[in-house]
Structure formats: structure tokens, C-alpha cells
Amino acid sequence: MEISANISRLDLFKMQYILLFKLRANYFFIALLYLVAGLASFKLLAAGDVAVWVWTWLLIGSVIFLITFNLIIFIQLVSATAEKGWIGETLFRLEDESFYEKTAGTETRTRWQAIIQVYRTKNFILVRINAYRIHIIPKRAFANDNEFEKFYNRLVEKVKNAKQAS
């Protein structure tokens, strides 16, 4: 079973926001930013007004988070090229022993046991290979909703069977 999809920068942008609270590493990153914000506004706590300190802490943490997160996304979008395999025409195939992906710049086979997780949203299938490698398969690449569901179900089945066998 295979599908060809044209991955766009907008797909990458949407993926980042979809995964924001799905990946545990992001929780650490967010907690660290809020810790820094709390320490930065600690003088307000010494002044005795806890409510002002809490609101300032939340505001500073949120601003730092939004700036940092969006800056990271911006850098990824600017540096995304077809030669790196991030955007452009991509072929995905469900093989007997592996998940196959081919782009203008990459060709990979990932054994089913190595796939960490498969996510499905309204418009995407996301295949998480490791902390930094996630394949995005847009729903628009499929002829209809039934084909999208069929591909997703077969993908999940292959991952589940491989993990149970190992």
C-alpha cells in the first residue's frame, strides 16, 4: 500500500502546533521557560505582592514561550527544502518489514518496531520515528476519506503487530 503526497511548508507549520502538547520533550521545554520567567520576576515576590508576581510570571513565561516556539518554527520553515526531504513530493509505502519514505533528497526504510507512535488528526497522519523525525501524510493526498482511514488502520496494525512480535 502506498501514497504520494506533496508536503508543503504549511503542513510543517500545522504539524508543529499539532505536536506541541503531544511530545513530552515540549513539556520540559515549557516548564523550563516558565521557571526562567519565575526567576526573572522573583523581585516582585520579595516586594510581598504574590498575585502580581504570579500574573507577571505567567505573562513573561507565555511571551517567552510564544517567541521561542514561533522562532523555532520560522527557522524550520525557512530552512525546509525538497533536497533535505522536508517538503515536496514524497512517496510513502507500507512494506512487509518497514515503513518506506522517498523524497527528492532522502530515501528511508524504518522497521516497524522502530516507530514510536502514529497519530491521526482530522487532516493528517503523523508517523513518529524518533524525537526529531516525524513523517507527515496529509489527508488531501488520498482519493477519499475511506482510503485515508484504510492507510491509517493498516499502518497502525503493522506497528502494533511488530511491537507484539518483538
Q: What confidence tens digit (pLDDT) does each residue in 75-115 have? A: 888 887 777 877 789 999 999 999 999 998 889 999 999 99
Q: Residue 161: which domain range?
A: 2-7+86-165
DSSP string, 122-157: SSEEEEE-SSS-EEEEEGGGSSSHHHHHHHHHHHHH
For residue 28, which amino acid is it?
Answer: F
Which is higher by pLDDT, 159 or 131? 159
- Percentage of the residues of the chain whose pLDDT score is greater than 90: 43
How close are the terminal C-alpha atoms of the chain, in Å? 23
5 SS3 class: strand
- The phi and psi torsions of 4 (rounded to 5 degrees) equal -110, 135
Of 21, 51, 79, which closes a domain? 79
53 SS3 class: helix
* CATH code of the domain in which 120 resides: 2.30.29.30
DSSP string, 78-131: HH--TTTTSSEEEEEEE-SSEEEEE-SS-EEEEEGGG--EEEE-SSEEEEE-SS
What is the reported pLDDT for 14?
87
Q: What confidence tens digit (pLDDT) does each residue in 43-68 have? A: 666 666 777 777 777 777 778 888 88
Q: What confidence tens digit (pLDDT) does each residue in 5-52 have? A: 999 888 888 888 787 777 777 777 778 777 777 776 666 666 667 777
Of 25, 49, 79, which closes a domain? 79
DSSP state of 23: S
Whether residues 90 and 68 share a domain: the answer is: no
Are 64 and 36 within 8 A, CB to CB? Answer: yes
